[in-house]
């Protein structure tokens, strides 16, 4: 039986009876691109920082950086085109070894079964149709994935970065999901969908344990971090919600637009989603880690979404934003926060970028991208306020002024983005 379970409140997870905040790192290319020595160092780094889930593609990532590891799940002459009739068992043995190392370190695995470029009728396979999988092989492949990895109690992420805009794509993912459910009924299952997408076919919903959405890497559209959280919270059957791909640190903006995401952008995406309905967890990404860039190795000819050049993995793994995400999990755990209920309507006349939620015991959390005075549409007598500087971790008192039907919250003193906490004395 899977040790990771859905919380009784249906909005989060538990692990061995304790609350579990899904704090993942994106390392899609692990099985094809990372040496075992690099993997050991990587695991230690992310464990120290507080991460507890690793998101990995079971197939070669289509827009990964090329490496000299030279292992693939199927026979290939060039590392690009695969022969789906010839398994390479050495790939799976090595992947199993990496999974064992990760699980022994304390990580949960979230393994993608079928990334979109392997599926016809998706936006990815329309760009590159080099390795579209034969439909009759989908069930066989999904069965293989369960046979190889099920002993590690993974989360099965049945789709990767996909849309469901064609009957052909839906048919492929139906075959994969059906087989995973048959072979591994006890495991948790979900689907990773494309940036800004808010549609999962109804036929899948009763077999998915939680929702993943992707606010993604478009400079214009970062409001998807909270808009998609609100959509899934409001319109879909109650399940945990995770932003499984917010903007990655130092990722170049999509479509070759000039600019890169900074730690502030990542914090904003994370907290905006968490306080808008996606309180089950969030995923970090570093540009150079997800695709495992190595100095001197050529880029993959598949450009995917047209990002700027990645940093070497050995440098990207030390980006500071990873600590900001570790802080999120530590803060929620230290304060005993199990569920966050969106409370946006209580904010009076303020930007949608400011996000607010309330706990079951009526503590209020407000994410403020820039310091400003706030008015809460509720009289909070007997409450006090504090602000957490999300850059330094410092805290400061915040003055509350209750009036008839509302409460004024003074501007906090920090110059960066902050988290305001209001709770009873």
The pLDDT value given to residue 199: 97
Averaged over 391-399, what is the pLDDT?
96
Chain segment 132-183, per-residue pLDDT in tens:
999 999 999 999 999 999 999 999 999 999 999 999 999 999 999 999 999 9
Residue for token pair 């996000």: 355
The pLDDT value given to residue 409: 97
Contact 387, 412 (CB under 8 A): yes
CA atoms of 240 and 184, how far apart (whole Å): 20
CA atoms of 262 and 268, how far apart (whole Å): 10
Question: What would the two tokens of residue 203 be?
Answer: 């036929």
Instruction: Decide: residue 416, CB within 10 A, 0-12 exposed, 13-18 middle, 19+ buried.
Output: middle
Q: What angle do CA 111, 217, 414 make, to 5 degrees?
A: 110
The pLDDT value given to residue 48: 98
Mean pLDDT of the chain: 95
Of the candidates 291, 307, 334, which is a domain's last residue? 334
Contact 22, 34 (CB under 8 A): no
Chain segment 318-357, per-residue pLDDT in tens:
999 999 999 999 999 999 999 999 999 999 988 999 999 9
Query: H or E stretch including 181?
Result: helix 167-183
The pLDDT value given to residue 317: 98
Antiparallel, parallel or unpaired: β 211-213 and 241-243: parallel
Q: Please provide the DSSP assignment of 282-298 as one string.
A: EEE-BTTTTTT--TTPP
Q: Using only C-alpha atoms, what is the Rg of the chain?
A: 22
Confidence of residue 130 (pLDDT cuts 50, 70, 90): very high
Averaged over 297-314, what is the pLDDT?
76
Q: Is residue 305's pLDDT more than 70? A: no
CATH number at residue 329: 3.20.20.80
Q: Is residue 304's pLDDT more than 70? A: no
One domain, residues 307 and 363: no
Query: What residues pair up with 83 in beta bridges, in sequence order?
Result: 75
One domain, residues 146 and 115: yes
One domain, residues 128 and 165: yes
Residue for token pair 């919270």: 233
The pLDDT value given to residue 303: 54
Confidence of residue 66 (pLDDT cuts 50, 70, 90): confident
Confidence of residue 270 (pLDDT cuts 50, 70, 90): very high
Chain segment 172-219, per-residue pLDDT in tens:
999 999 999 999 999 999 999 999 999 999 999 999 999 999 999 999
Averaged over 393-406, what is the pLDDT?
96
Contact 311, 81 (CB under 8 A): no
Of the candidates 285, 308, 334, which is a domain's last residue? 334
Confidence of residue 315 (pLDDT cuts 50, 70, 90): very high
One domain, residues 169 and 50: yes
One domain, residues 329 and 347: no
CATH number at residue 362: 2.60.40
One domain, residues 139 and 194: yes
CA atoms of 149 and 156, how far apart (whole Å): 10
CA atoms of 313 and 16, how far apart (whole Å): 33
One domain, residues 216 and 298: yes
Confidence of residue 300 (pLDDT cuts 50, 70, 90): low
The 3-class secondary structure across 37-73, one letter per residue, is: HHHHHHHHHHHHHCCCEEEEECCCCCCCECCCCCCCC
Domains identified in the chain, total number: 2
One domain, residues 95 and 225: yes
One domain, residues 185 and 301: yes
268 CB-near residues (< 8 Å, 6+ apart): 222, 225, 353, 367, 369, 417
Instruction: Supply the range of the domain harboring residue 236.
Output: 4-334
The pLDDT value given to residue 68: 76
Of the candidates 313, 334, 355, which is a domain's last residue? 334
* Sheet hosting strand 364-368, strand order edge to edge: 341-342, 355-358, 364-368, 418-424, 383-389, 395-398
Query: H or E stretch including 401?
Result: strand 400-403
Rounded to 5 degrees, φ, ψ at 109 are: -105, 135
Least confident piece of the model among 56-60, 304-308, 383-387: 304-308
Question: What would the two tokens of residue 194 be?
Answer: 């494309």
One domain, residues 363 and 382: yes
Rounded to 5 degrees, φ, ψ at 396 are: -145, 150
The pLDDT value given to residue 299: 65
Share of the chain above pLDDT 70, in %: 97
Q: Is residue 408's pLDDT more than 90? A: yes
One domain, residues 259 and 360: no
Confidence of residue 80 (pLDDT cuts 50, 70, 90): confident
The pLDDT value given to residue 302: 56
Check residue 318 and give left, alpha or beta (phi > 0: left; psi -120 to 50: alpha). alpha
One domain, residues 105 and 191: yes
């Amino acid at each position: 039986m899977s040790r990771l379970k859905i919380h009784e409140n249906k909005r989060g997870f538990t692990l061995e009876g304790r609350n579990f905040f899904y704090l993942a790192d994106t390392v899609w290319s692990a099985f094809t691109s990372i040496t075992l020595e690099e993997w050991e160092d990587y695991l230690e780094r992310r464990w120290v920082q507080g991460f507890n889930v690793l998101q990995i593609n079971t197939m070669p990532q289509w827009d990964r950086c090329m490496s000299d590891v030279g292992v693939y799940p199927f026979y290939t002459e060039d590392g690009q085109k695969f022969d789906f009739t010839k398994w390479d068992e050495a790939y799976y043995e090595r992947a199993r070894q990496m999974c064992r190392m990760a699980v022994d370190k304390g990580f949960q695995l979230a393994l993608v079964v079928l990334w979109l470029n392997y599926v016809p009728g998706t936006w990815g396979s329309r760009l590159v149709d080099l390795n579209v999988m034969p439909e009759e092989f989908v069930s066989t492949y999904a069965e293989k994935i369960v046979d190889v990895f099920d002993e590690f109690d993974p989360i099965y992420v049945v789709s990767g970065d996909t849309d469901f805009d064609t009957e052909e794509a839906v048919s492929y993912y139906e075959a994969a999901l059906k087989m995973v459910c048959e072979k591994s009924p006890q495991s948790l299952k979900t689907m990773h969908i494309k940036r800004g997408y808010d549609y999962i076919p109804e036929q899948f919903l009763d077999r998915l344990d939680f929702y993943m959405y992707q606010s993604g890497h478009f400079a214009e559209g970062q409001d998807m971090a909270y808009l998609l959280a609100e959509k899934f919270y409001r319109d879909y059957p109650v399940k945990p919600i995770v932003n499984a791909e917010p903007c990655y640190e130092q990722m170049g903006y999509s479509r070759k637009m000039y600019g890169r995401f900074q730690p502030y952008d990542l914090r904003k995406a994370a907290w905006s989603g968490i306080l808008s309905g996606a309180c089950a967890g969030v995923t970090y990404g570093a540009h150079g880690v997800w695709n495992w860039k190595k100095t001197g190795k050529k880029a993959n000819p598949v450009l995917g979404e047209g990002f700027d050049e990645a940093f070497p993995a050995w440098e990207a793994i030390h980006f500071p934003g990873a600590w900001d995400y570790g802080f999120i999990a530590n803060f929620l755990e230290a304060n005993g926060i199990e569920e966050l209920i969106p409370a946006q309507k209580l904010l009076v006349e303020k930007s949608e970028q400011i996000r607010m939620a309330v706990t079951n015991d009526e503590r209020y959390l407000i994410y403020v991208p820039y310091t400003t005075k706030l008015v809460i549409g509720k009289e909070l007598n007997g409450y006090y306020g504090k602000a957490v500087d999300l850059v330094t971790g410092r805290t400061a008192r915040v003055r509350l002024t209750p009036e008839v039907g509302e409460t004024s919250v003074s501007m906090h003193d920090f110059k960066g983005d902050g988290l305001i906490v209001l709770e009873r004395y």
